[in-house]
Amino acid sequence: MLRLRRRRAAHRAAIDRLPVELLIKILAFVTVNSHVQTLLPPRADDLRVSRIALAQVCSAWRDAVYDTASFWSSFRLGPLSTSSEARGLLAKKLAQWNAIPLRAELDLLVIAPLRSLGGSRAVPLLRPHLDRLVALDICIQPSVFASNGDDDDNSWFHKQGIAFPQLQYLRVADAGWSTSMHIVAPRLQELHLERIDTTEWDAVVNSGLRVLDLSGSSLLVQSMIELSRATLLHILSRCPSLHTLLLREIHLTGPSNAVDQPYLPALQVLECTRSRGGVDGDILLFLLDIVPWHQLVQIAIDPGLTDVFLTAVLGGVMWTSLHYCVVEGEMLMRLREFAEAGDGGRERRVQRSSINIIASLLRSSPAVWTQLRELHVDVLGFVQLSLALSATDQRQPFLTSVTSLTILLRETGSRRRNTGPKTLRDCLQDNLEVMRLPALQTLRLSAVVGASKAVHIASACIEEFISALGCSAKPRVELDNVGTTKTDAIRNKFVQLSRSMPGRTGAR
C-alpha cells in the first residue's frame, strides 16, 4: 500500500507537488490583474477570478484559499453575494482573520421589494470590523443615507455618523438623485463622491487628503449639482497635501469673498469637465488664484483653455518635446519641460486637447517653442497640424482625403464623434504660420492606437510638413507602424498583428 501511494505521488501533476507557500503565492499572483498597483486590498473588479472559484478546483486549492488571510481582505456585498451561506462563510473568515486590513464594496438597494437582495443584508457583518476597514466603496439608490424613521440596516450611516478610524479610501456613488452622508474618517487619503451634494466635510476632509473627486453625474442621472463657493473654499483650505482635484458636473453658487483664499502647494493633477456645454467658466475663475498652474503635470478642462489659462499653465517655460496624439478617442497633448542639469524634465499633459490650444499657445507665448527638439504626432495629429499649417496660403492639405480622419475617429472609439468635423473646421480657421521650430531634431510619426487599417503617409507630405516648420537643420524622421507607401504600410500592419498574436515574438 505504501509503495502504491508513493507511485501515485510520483505521477501527480507538477502543480500538485508544489509547496503550499509557493501555491499560495501563485494563486495570489493570478488572482489580481497585473495592472493593479495599490497598497490597499484590490477591488472586486480588479480580480481575475473569485476566491470561491479557486476553492472549487480541488481540496489543496480549497485549503490554500480558506487558510490564507490575504484572500479575505477584500469582498463585495451585493445581490449575488449575500446568500445565507455566503454571509455565514464571510462572518467566519472575518472573525478568524481579525487583524488584516479590509476593503468592502457595498451595493445597497433601498427600494423595499429589492432591499432583501442588496448588500444591506450584510451590513451587520461589518459593524464589528469598522476599525479594520481601509477602503470602502458604496453604490446606493436614492435615500439610503436619508433618515426615514425606520430602524433598518441602512439608517446606521445617517443616524450614528459612523466612524471609520483607519479608512484611507472612500467612494460613494448614488445611482439616483443626489443625497447626503455622514461618515467620520480622520485618516482619509482618497475621497470620491458622485451625486453627494452635502456632507459633514470636516469629518472626512483632513490635512492628509491627496485625492478629491466631486462629481455631479451618475450612471442614471446626467445633470449638475450645486456647491457653494464658500463650501468649496472651506474644503480646499483643509487639504494642503492635495495632489489630485477632480471637479465634474459641478455648478458653483453664492459669494466667496468672506472666506480666505486657500492655496494648494502640492497639486499636480486637475480635471474640471462637463458633459454638455463645456466647463463652467465660474469654476476656472474660482480656481485661478488657488491652483499653482506652473507645477501642474496633468490638466483636463473641457472644451479648452483660454489664453489666460494657457499662459498660466504652459507659458513662460521652454519646452523640449511635444507629443500630440489620440488617447481613448480624445486628443491628448504632452509637453516635456526643458531639462535642467541632472533633471529629466517635467511632463505636462493636457487632455481633451485640440489644435486651437496649440494655436492659442503660439499666440500667447511664441518663445516657448524655440528649443523644441522632438515632435511626436500620430496620424490624426499630423492631419490636424498639416491642415492648420497649409490653410492660410491656399495650398492643398497634405493629406488629400478627410475621409481617413473620420475613419480613424470611428475606429478609436471616440465618445464624442461629432468632434471630428468640428475639429477639421477649427483647423482650417486657425493659423499656425507662427509655428517655427528651429531646434527640431526628431519628427516621430505613429499610427493611431486602435486603428485597424494600414497607415501610409507619402514622403512628399512629410517633406512639405517639415519645410513648413522652419527648422534650422532637417530633422530625423522616425516612423512607428506608418509606411511611406501602401506596401510599406501593409507590411508594418502585418508585423504589428503578428507580434500581437499569442505565441509569436515577431514576423519572420
Burial state string for 253-287 with b = 16 or more CB within 10 A and e = fewer than 16: eeebeebeebebeebbbbbbbbeeeebbeebbebb
* Average pLDDT of the residues in 292-299: 81
Residue 273 clears pLDDT 90, i.e. is over it: no
Residue 304 binned pLDDT confidence (cut-offs 50, 70, 90)? low
Residue 482 binned pLDDT confidence (cut-offs 50, 70, 90)? confident
* Average pLDDT of the residues in 209-214: 92
Residue 256 confidence (pLDDT): 63
Residue 398 binned pLDDT confidence (cut-offs 50, 70, 90)? very low
**Backbone Cα Rg of the chain:** 28
Residue 28 CA to residue 65 CA, distance in Å, equals 9
Does residue 290 lie within any of the structural domains? Answer: no
Residue 319 confidence (pLDDT): 85
Q: Give me the number of domains the chain comprises.
A: 1
Of 243, 238, 252, nearest to 271 by C-alpha is 243
Does residue 401 lie within any of the structural domains? Answer: yes
Does residue 478 lie within any of the structural domains? Answer: yes
Does residue 365 lie within any of the structural domains? Answer: yes
Residue 417 binned pLDDT confidence (cut-offs 50, 70, 90)? very low
| Residue 109 per-residue DSSP state | -
Q: In 30-189, where do the E strands start and end?
A: 74-77, 102-108, 133-140, 169-174, 179-181
β-pair partners for 478: 444
Does residue 126 lie within any of the structural domains? Answer: no
Does residue 338 lie within any of the structural domains? Answer: yes
DSSP assignment of 115-158 equals GGGSGGGGHHHHGGGGGGEEEEEEEE-TTSSS--S---SSTHHH
Residue 256 CA to residue 398 CA, distance in Å, equals 51
Residue 477 CA to residue 500 CA, distance in Å, equals 25
Does residue 455 lie within any of the structural domains? Answer: yes
Residue 236 CA to residue 229 CA, distance in Å, equals 11
Residue 174 CA to residue 181 CA, distance in Å, equals 11
Of 449, 454, 324, nearest to 377 by C-alpha is 324
Model confidence pLDDT, tens digit, residues 119-158: 556 667 777 878 888 888 887 765 444 444 444 444 555 5
β-pair partners for 136: 104, 170
Helix (H, G, I), strand (E, B) or coil at 77: strand
Residue 463 φ then ψ, to 5°: -65, -45
Residue 327 CA to residue 350 CA, distance in Å, equals 11
Highest mean pLDDT among 267-271, 315-319, 325-329 belongs to: 267-271
Residue 376 CA to residue 440 CA, distance in Å, equals 11
Question: How many angstroms separate the first and last alpha carbons of the chain?
Answer: 55
Burial state string for 105-127 with b = 16 or more CB within 10 A and e = fewer than 16: bbbbbbeeeebeebbbbbbebbe
Residue 390 CA to residue 336 CA, distance in Å, equals 26
Model confidence pLDDT, tens digit, residues 220-235: 555 677 788 888 888 8
Q: Which amino acid is at 269?
A: V
β-pair partners for 248: 215, 273
Task: Find where cell 493570478 sits.
Answer: 30
* Average pLDDT of the residues in 369-375: 89
Highest mean pLDDT among 273-287, 333-347, 404-418 belongs to: 333-347
Residue 175 binned pLDDT confidence (cut-offs 50, 70, 90)? low
In Å, the largest CA–CA distance within the chain is 94
- pTM attached to this predicted model: 0.69
Mean model confidence pLDDT for the chain: 70
Residue 130 CA to residue 29 CA, distance in Å, equals 28
Spatial neighbors of 197 by CB under 8 A, at least 6 apart, are: 178, 179, 180, 216, 225, 226, 227
Question: Which structural domain, as residue segments, surrounds residue 343?
Answer: 315-508
Does residue 392 lie within any of the structural domains? Answer: yes
Pairing of strands 319-327, 374-378: parallel
